[in-house]
Amino acid sequence: MTVTSPNILITGTPGVGKSKICAEIAKQRSMKWQDVSKIAKDNGFVEEYDETLECPVLDEDKLMDHLEPEMESGGNIVEYHSCEFFPERWFDAVFVIQCNNTILYDRLKERGYNEAKVKENIECEIFQMVLNEAKESYDESIVVPLLGETEANFAQSIKQITDFIDTFGK
């Protein structure tokens, strides 16, 4: 089977703008948006609930089994705040969205995150944990950091990602 459209991972700390970017890319290029958090919730792919961080803990094996057939056909834009557990073979590009800590702090507080959750996510961004995780998990040549702070950053990120999609396989 020849894949004509790439599989792309959009990752980054919660609050950096992943969903906004995925929604726009999916719309502009008719890609299948795989929102991992939503898929896990809708299908019960949750092992437990973390009371401190007020979030479900993903059952990665069930998620992988669910996504595998989708990923084989290409044309997926996968969104999640973590990336090390996805098979390397799944992605043609990994875009890591990053954000200034002050902006991110305000976004997370606006979402109603508790102090422990805000602190953990801010620290994750300060230490570039998601970017480092992506570079360790995938060929560095396919890992692309992008900014998610302003509307101009958003427009530039959309252009960079759509340019990649449009030239895929050419």
Cβ–Cβ < 8 Å for 97, 157: yes
Query: What does DSSP assign to residue 141?
Result: G
Domain count across the chain: 1
pLDDT above 60 for 1: no
75 contact partners, CB below 8 Å, separation of at least 6 = 3, 4, 5, 6, 7, 30, 31, 32
pLDDT score at 65: 97
C-beta neighbour count of 170 within 10 angstroms: 4
pLDDT score at 4: 78
CATH code at position 66: 3.40.50.300
Per-residue pLDDT, averaged over 22-28, amounts to: 97
Q: Is residue 12 part of a domain?
A: yes
CA-to-CA distance for 53 and 61, rounded, in angstroms? 22
Q: Is residue 111 part of a domain?
A: yes
Mean pLDDT computed over every residue of the chain: 94
Q: What band does 52 get if pLDDT is binned at 50, 70 and 90? A: confident
Residue 83's nearest CA partner among 29, 12, 165, 15 is 12
Q: Is residue 1 part of a domain?
A: no
Q: Is residue 166 part of a domain?
A: no
**pTM for the full model?**
0.94
Amino acid, res. 33 = W
pLDDT above 90 for 37: yes
Per-residue pLDDT, averaged over 77-91, amounts to: 96
Q: Is residue 2 part of a domain?
A: no
For the chain, how far is it from start to end, CA to CA, in angstroms?
17
Q: Is residue 37 part of a domain?
A: yes
Q: What band does 3 get if pLDDT is binned at 50, 70 and 90? A: low
pLDDT in tens, 95-145: 999 999 999 999 999 999 999 999 999 999 999 999 999 999 999 999 999
Q: Is residue 85 part of a domain?
A: yes
CA-to-CA distance for 170 and 168, rounded, in angstroms? 6
Q: Is residue 170 part of a domain?
A: no
Q: Which domain holds residue 119?
A: 8-160
